[in-house]
Structure 1
Amino acid sequence: MTRVLHVLDHSLPLHSGYTFRTRAILKAQQALGLEVRGITGLRHSGEGTSSVETVDGLTFHRTPGEASGPPGVSEAREMAALSASIQALAKDWRPDIIHAHSPALCGGGAWRAASALGVPLVYEIRAFWEDAAVGNRTGTEGSVKYHLTRALETQIVKRADAVFTICQGLRDDLIERGINPGKIGIMPNGVDLSLFGDPPPRDEALAGGLAIGPDTPLIGYIGSFYAYEGVDDLIAAMPHLRREQPDARLLLVGAGEMDAEWRAAAAKLPEPEAVIFTGRVPHSEVERYYSLIDVLAYPRKHSRLTDLVTPLKPLEAMAQRRIVAASNVGGHRELMKHGETGFLFAPDDPAACAAALHEVFEARGEWDAIRERGVAHVRARHDWAANARRYQDVYHLLLANVNRGDGRAALTAPA
């Protein structure tokens, strides 16, 4: 049985888009007969103190200690600690493949360990983290740290035996850096369809508690409150929308750094009661909120991050037979077609957002067909049970190279 060690920034039991993608990958690989484990670096901030943790039938190893030192030195120590932790684990559980996931600190630590162990390295990029730092306002484009992070990742990609990105935009960017296209495959964001059945019935008790009537046109956003998500534009769109849809309301489920700013923006609206904030809710309760929403809106702002990276939430919404409206940025265009599987509107433009939402509500007669096309699209292109086989194909080629004595040479990865 092939053993695959996934090297991660953080993991379950923490909840994030990152950990949900990881869970889906590992579960799909288990179903295919692979033996999988995960190992996290120093930035995993779980509450437990155990060096090994089992969550949802998955085993995760933890790297002990804390990074310290000035910028640059601290990151180097992180990678060294992760490499040492991987090598220590390999003494008892020797992996056949080391599969590292961005950020580059994970890739750097994994590359050191893979080189020492003589094990093939697969590196997967979910986002360029220097761009993510700009998007969440913890970094600045063009800064020294921005360029150093980008350079480190480029070196890891060159050294890895095979590379995956989650979308075409990220792959194209790597090719522009001079990376051989033949070693870069695409593993799109996906959905574990076994978790999604028929949509839940409307939760009338929750609706009553939130004062949402049965005929209220309800737009919803469920996710993290980061600036690049553009929810401020969605809030600003509400007065425009309510001129055409007087009873329309907006339900915002989540929390984050923009919470106070977005609440302040909603309070300044002519009709502030049009926007409902729930705060952070337990993951087990999220489905209740989905049951109330007519249209899931994803108004991401235009940036390198949103043009290059595909989000997970719209796919989950389509899998639940929900209508999706999203800003027309590259990451969304890879997931849906306007009028067929969802609706697109100009980014950074509240009036355009409102016009698109009005169009959505005027097209109610087409919703059933759009829902079915959305589900069919997810099943055809974003089902983890099927897509995970692409990993297996690459693993087999890498191991065949090793068994032939060809070393850890790169290969042509399936796009």
Structure 2
Amino acid sequence: MQPTDLRVALFSGNYNYERDGANQALNLLVGHLLSQGVSVRVYSPTSKRPAFAPTGDLVPVPSLPLPAGRGEYKMARGLPASVRRDLDAFAPNMIHVSAPDFLGHRALSYARDRGLASVASLHTRFETYFRYYRMAFFEPIMVKILTRFYDRADTVLVPGKGMADIVREWGVTTPTAIWSRGVDHDRFKPTRRDLDWRRAYGIADHEVAVGFLGRLVKEKGLDVFAAVVGKLRERGIPHKVLVIGKGPARDWFTEQVPGAVFAGFQSGDDLGRAVASMDVFFNPSVTETFGNVTLEAMAAGVPVVAARASGAIGLIDDGVTGFLVPPADIAGYADAIGRIVTEPGLRETMGQAGHAKAAGYRWDIINHAVLDTYLAVMARRAA
């Protein structure tokens, strides 16, 4: 089978209505597949004012806003008749699901009912979310739901060996394949650093900016970030907090990190400038499967302090490109950030090492691995 023989129906819980790392990866994947002659049709909830234009053909799926103050995200109501008719007309031979939601479950059922090949990609550690909303008791139940979901696909695409090991620990028996992540090396590079931009936000040239980048939601580890900043203040370690992003927890976070600079949402080359203008990138989140923002910081020559979790293990070389710290170790994070803040030489060498390592992450090579996985799945089923 050739790439031009593939007809891929891709299902996403959020393809373009809110910008995040997962849908950036999906849009780049679709662009690569189309460039290789693959026919692709995307099915996802939509909005009247999407965050960006979709890559490829996007079919709206009826949805409802998520509850509990997270109405910016939508939950598709399965596969209604109108969407099924469109799907039947497209006649896919490969189903790719990117989220374990109602839409993803129904799409896998559609594939099984028709004997179609299927792939599930894992982008977010949804089972960890319950820790941040006083529902940790539900995490084991969610793991069972996720295990059943991923075992229904022919192959599970994970961003690295660490996540492959985790899904095996859950009990998933479906074969796994690696779909890593890339970075825009023209956008994220050390030369994007802009002292004038920093000064405009009140960050002096001699001040060390400890940066946060991402959606301002509690599951990104905002509570840990705030606790560590408090510990740095307690120890008298000079620093300035620079926050890039927006989200529903903005007001709460502002109260937790008094004196922080909030630069808001940044995109395109503005985002590259903002990241390169940090001095340390601190990412305490344990919900990512890869950590796109960590890779972007490394490409920009910024040393990283991150949770020793799936989003950073295998990406950060501990003590070389940054530091890995046990997820809840507030003092350990403060120790690591304190060293980078107070040792300019270490900050420089770690930044250079991270930039060098990030150079190997190229989207065209990484996305072609997904195409190869599709073809391998088709060949395996044919045999």
Tell me if both proteins adopt one fold, taking TM over 0.5 as the criterion.
Answer: yes
Question: For 1:257 and 1:364, how far apart are their aligned partners in 2?
Answer: 35
Task: Evaluate the alpha carbon distance shift between residue 32 and residue 127 of structure 1 in structure 2; reply closer, same or farther with a 3 A threshold.
Answer: same
Of 267, 270, 274, the match for 1:283? 267
SS in 2 for 1:55: coil
Q: 2:91 aligns to what? A: 94
Q: 1:47 aligns to what? A: 48
Question: For 1:35 and 1:188, how far apart are their aligned partners in 2?
Answer: 22
Task: Evaluate the alpha carbon distance shift between residue 166 and residue 57 of structure 1 in structure 2; reply closer, same or farther with a 3 A threshold.
Answer: closer
Question: For 2:22 and 2:125, how far apart are their aligned partners in 1?
Answer: 13
Deviation per residue, 1:234-260 (Å, 9 max, x gap): 32133145x243xx2111222334333
Task: Evaluate the alpha carbon distance shift between residue 374 and residue 27 of structure 1 in structure 2; reply closer, same or farther with a 3 A threshold.
Answer: farther
Q: What is the Cα deviation at residue 100 of structure 1?
A: 0.6
Q: 1:165 aligns to what? A: 158
Of 271, 278, 282, the match for 1:297? 282
Task: Evaluate the alpha carbon distance shift between residue 196 and residue 209 of structure 1 in structure 2; reply closer, same or farther with a 3 A threshold.
Answer: closer
Q: 1:357 aligns to what? A: 337
Q: 1:410 aligns to what? A: none
Q: What is the Cα deviation at residue 136 of structure 1?
A: 4.3
Q: What is the Cα deviation at residue 346 of structure 1?
A: 4.5
> Counterpart of 2:227 in structure 1: which amino acid?
D
Q: 1:15 aligns to what? A: 19
What residue ranges of structure 1 are gaps of 5+ in the alignment? 69-74, 268-272, 407-415
Task: Evaluate the alpha carbon distance shift between residue 360 and residue 175 of structure 1 in structure 2; reply closer, same or farther with a 3 A threshold.
Answer: same
Contact kept, 8 Å, 2:276 with 2:300, in 1: the verdict is no
Q: 1:34 aligns to what? A: 38
Task: Evaluate the alpha carbon distance shift between residue 56 and residue 259 of structure 1 in structure 2; reply closer, same or farther with a 3 A threshold.
Answer: closer
Where does 1:75-86 land on structure 2 (aligned, <5 Å)?
78-81=77-80, 84=81
Deviation per residue, 1:197-237 (Å, 9 max, x gap): 55314151x33332221221211112122334122123213
TM-score for the superposition, normalised by structure 1: 0.77
Question: For 1:19 and 1:364, how far apart are their aligned partners in 2?
Answer: 36
Of 182, 185, 188, the match for 1:190? 182
Of 112, 135, 138, the match for 1:140? 135
Deviation per residue, 1:352-411 (Å, 9 max, x gap): 33322221134422444433432332333x322112222222211222345x4x5xxxxx
Deviation per residue, 1:112-159 (Å, 9 max, x gap): 221344321111122342322x1442x72333xx56644443223222
Q: What is the Cα deviation at residue 265 of structure 1?
A: 2.7
CA-based RMSD? 3.2
Tell me whether 118-127 or 322-331 shows the greater mean CA deviation: 322-331
Q: 1:154 aligns to what? A: 147
> Counterpart of 2:122 in structure 1: which amino acid?
I
Task: Evaluate the alpha carbon distance shift between residue 13 and residue 159 of structure 1 in structure 2; reply closer, same or farther with a 3 A threshold.
Answer: closer
Contact kept, 8 Å, 1:310 with 1:334, in 2: the verdict is no
1:263 equivalent in alignment to 2:254: yes
Where does 1:193-212 land on structure 2 (aligned, <5 Å)?
193=185, 195-196=187-188, 199-204=191-196, 206-212=197-203
Contact kept, 8 Å, 1:165 with 1:184, in 2: the verdict is yes
SS in 1 for 2:120: strand
> Counterpart of 2:112 in structure 1: which amino acid?
S
Question: For 1:191 and 1:163, how far apart are their aligned partners in 2?
Answer: 22
Q: 1:112 aligns to what? A: 109
What residue ranges of structure 2 are gaps of 5+ in the alignment? 67-73
Contact kept, 8 Å, 2:158 with 2:164, in 1: the verdict is yes
Question: For 1:177 and 1:383, how far apart are their aligned partners in 2?
Answer: 30
SS in 1 for 2:15: coil
Q: 1:391 aligns to what? A: 370
Q: What is the Cα deviation at residue 10 of structure 1?
A: 0.9
Percent identity between the aligned chains? 19
Q: 2:215 aligns to what? A: 224
Task: Evaluate the alpha carbon distance shift between residue 136 and residue 54 of structure 1 in structure 2; reply closer, same or farther with a 3 A threshold.
Answer: same
Q: 1:123 aligns to what? A: 120
Question: For 2:177 and 2:342, how far apart are their aligned partners in 1?
Answer: 40
Contact kept, 8 Å, 2:245 with 2:265, in 1: the verdict is yes
Contact kept, 8 Å, 2:291 with 2:312, in 1: the verdict is yes
> Counterpart of 2:149 in structure 1: which amino acid?
I
1:235 equivalent in alignment to 2:229: yes
Q: What is the Cα deviation at residue 27 of structure 1?
A: 2.7
Contact kept, 8 Å, 1:167 with 1:188, in 2: the verdict is yes
Q: What is the Cα deviation at residue 90 of structure 1?
A: 3.0
Number of residues paired by the alignment?
368
> Counterpart of 1:261 in structure 2: which amino acid?
W
